[in-house]
Amino acid sequence: MIDRHSLKSKAWELCANAVPSVIVAGLIYAVLSLVVSTLSARLMGNGVTVGDVGRVMDAYQNGEYSYVVSYASRFRPSGFASLIDMALQFVMMIVSAGFVIFILNTIRRTNAVYGNLLDGFAIAGRVILLNIVEGLLIVLWSLLLIVPGIIAAYRYRMALYLLIDHPEMSVLQCLRESKELMHGHKAELFRLDLSMIGWLLLDMFVPFAAVWTAPYTNTVWAMYYEALTNRGGQESFSFNPEL
């Protein structure tokens, strides 16, 4: 079992001292995420106000269904806007993979550069396909009950790291390998996530907190992958069989 306290301490130290800075990479990533989310909101017509919602609810309760349908059609995004929005989501999947590549290079001391944020485009098709297949599998398991869906999400958590390290592997091979890698470790990773719940909540409710939270949490998860595959070695990570 992996000593999460030692792992988190190492991650914090890396975020504070790494050159090039993980925080700066996180800032670039956060800005890109903000730009994409803003464009997505505009494309998909998320300019609906509380007053609009109130008027629609009143119309529905009064049986004015034609108004409700008219309102919905007026704010429904066009097919072209939906395609552009999908493309933007794909771009963020790829940039997210690039952020993971940057962090892995930083951990491994293999000449990390900010340009790593674009390295995901080299495997863009498989990154997108992995996200789609993984999401579909999690949704299908969630149809049974919420717990199987959560278990499935943890089962496939290492798939992206495996794809980055083994670009010759197919998406299904990465998912199967992640399943094997996470055997007996899903609860452990769940406890690690719970121990960072404060950071995750900060990211949700504090504007621009992702500049600090994303580098730290992603570094913790990348180091967990390193420890899980024993790439980090005993010198980089502490292991405690009693945890």
Q: How far apart are CA 189 and CA 182, in angstroms?
A: 9
- Supply the pLDDT for residue 150: 94
Adjacent-strand bridge partners of 2: 239
CA distance readout (Å), 210 to 8, 76, 133, 173: 17, 30, 26, 32
Phi, psi of 2 (to 5 degrees): -95, 135
Specify if 50 maps to a domain: no
What is the predicted pLDDT for the residue at 171?
A: 96
pLDDT for residue 235: 42
172 closest CA partner among 206, 205, 126, 203 = 126
| Both tokens assigned to 96 | 């997210």
Specify which residues 239 forms β-bridges with. 2
- Residue for token pair 């529905």: 60
- Overall number of domains in the chain: 1
Q: So what's the pLDDT on residue 237?
A: 41
Predicted pLDDT of residue 243: 30
pTM of the model: 0.81
Q: Does some domain include residue 152?
A: yes
67 inside domain:
no
The one-digit pLDDT tens for each residue of the chain (243 residues) are 788 889 999 999 999 999 999 999 999 998 998 888 888 877 776 555 556 667 777 777 777 767 667 766 666 666 777 788 889 999 999 999 999 999 999 999 998 999 999 999 999 999 999 999 999 999 999 988 889 999 999 999 999 999 999 999 999 999 999 999 999 999 999 999 999 998 888 877 877 788 888 999 999 999 999 999 986 544 444 333 333
Calculate helix-pair angle for 4-17, 210-228, nearest 10 degrees.
130
User: How much is the pLDDT for 170?
Assistant: 95
| 75 belongs to a structural domain | no
Is 70 domain-assigned? no
Residue 241 lies in a domain: no
3-state secondary structure the chain: CECHHHHHHHHHHHHHHCCCCHHHHHHHHHHHHHHHHHHHHHHCCCCCCHHHHHHHHHHHHCCCHHHHHHHHHHHCCCHHHHHHHHHHHHHHHHHHHHHHHHHHHHHHCCCCCHHHHHHHHHHHHHHHHHHHHHHHHHHHHHCCCHHHHHHHHHHCCCHHHHHHHCCCCCHHHHHHHHHHHCCCCHHHHHHHHHHCHHHHHHHHHCCCCHHHHHHHHHHHHHHHHHHHCCCCHHHHCCECCCC
DSSP code at position 239 = B
Residue 78 lies in a domain: no
For residue 62, being part of any structural domain is answered with no
Domain around 12:
4-43+83-236
